Amino acid sequence: MDVMEQIKEQVEQNQVLLYMKGSPNQPQCGFSARVVQALMACGQRFAYVDILSNPEIRSNLPTYANWPTFPQLWVKGELIGGCDIVTEMHEKGELEPLVREASEAA
C-alpha cells in the first residue's frame, strides 16, 4: 500500500484522528501538546499517528490534506485544522460536542 492510501485508510477508519509530533503522553512540540490537552478535555478516546516516527506520512500528509502544518486533527474523515483552530474551537465549546458525536457514531 502506498503512503497516500495508508493516510486515506487511517483517516477513514478512525472517527477522531490526530497527526502529531510524539504521543499524547509525550508530545514532542508545544502545538501538539495544546491540541492533546484540548482533546483530552473532551473526555473521548482518539487515535493518533506520531509523524516523527513515520517520516513518509510526515512528508506526504500536507499534500493529502492540503494543509502545511502539524498537528492535524481529523474528525469523521474531515480535516478540522491545526493547533490554533482546535484551541479556538475548544475555548468556544465547539470541540467537545463534535468529538463526542464522532465517538458515539463509531
Beta strands in the chain (DSSP E): 16-20, 47-50, 72-75, 78-81
- Residue type at position 92: K
Interval 46-70: pLDDT, tens: 999 999 999 999 999 999 999 999 9
Torsion-angle region of 77 (φ positive above 0: left; ψ -120 to 50: alpha; else: beta) = left
Sheet holding 78-81, edge to edge: 47-50, 16-20, 72-75, 78-81
Q: What is the pLDDT of residues 89-98, one digit of tens each?
A: 999 999 999 9
C-alpha cell recorded at residue 24? 499524547
The amino acid present at 65, given as its one-letter code, is: A
> Whole-prediction pTM value?
0.96
Which residue ranges form the domains of the chain, and what is each CATH number?
Answer: 3-105 (3.40.30.10)
